[in-house]
Homo-oligomer: A and B are copies of this chain.
Amino acid sequence: MERHEELFVSIRKIIRAIDIRSRKLSKEAGVTGPQLIILQELARIKGVTAKEVSTQVNLSQATVTNILDRLESKHFIKRVRSESDRRRVALFLTDEGKEALLNAPQPIEESFVETFSALKDWEQFQLLSSVERIAEMMGASGIDAAPVLNLGDLDSHNQAQDNKND
């Protein structure tokens, strides 16, 4: 097998690992990975719009709507049509949503973060730049992907309100 094929094997393993994590999350915490990421975003910026979320987490608006629908049907979020601009819909966590968020583990396997953080600095850098380089080579340079955002901050800094335009 060629090197680049082996590379793809590993990439697909990573993709599956992420998928598996998401399903596990869904079973244990009642929310999937993407749902969790969006909940975190709503926690970070109160009254954020779907558009803003979609920019921040770098998913299409349609995907965000889709996920919001599910979160809403679980009563984890509220949609409030804006009065000043009736095209916009402001998004808020419900108490249930906050609860779910607090009880949910990280979207990434904790053990991964631990293991990774325990590596020497240059090793971390090594891994990171390898992956970045591959992303680059795959023409992914133009793509903006979202970080898997940090939890915390349920009630702090919701002042990052005004990022209307990119």
Contact = CB atoms under 8 A, between A and B. Distances in A.
Interface of A: 1-18, 20-21, 58, 108-109, 111-113, 115-117, 124-128, 130-135, 137-140, 143-150
A146 B148 CA distance: 26
Given A14-B134, A143-B16, A117 B9 contact: no
Contacts of A138: 13-14, 17-18, 21, 109, 112
Contact of A135 (B14, B113, B115, B133): B14
B137 A16 contact: no
Given A10-B131, A147-B5, A137 B116 contact: yes
Copies in the complex: 2
A127 B131 CA distance: 7
29 contacts: A4-B112, A4-B124, A5-B148, A5-B149, A5-B150, A7-B131, A8-B108, A8-B145, A8-B147, A8-B148, A9-B145, A10-B132, A10-B134, A11-B131, A13-B135, A13-B140, A14-B131, A14-B138, A15-B15, A16-B145, A17-B143, A20-B143, A21-B138, A109-B138, A109-B139, A111-B137, A130-B130, A130-B131, A131-B131
Given A16-B143, A124-B3, A130-B127, A10 B137 contact: no
Main secondary structure, interface of A, reads helix
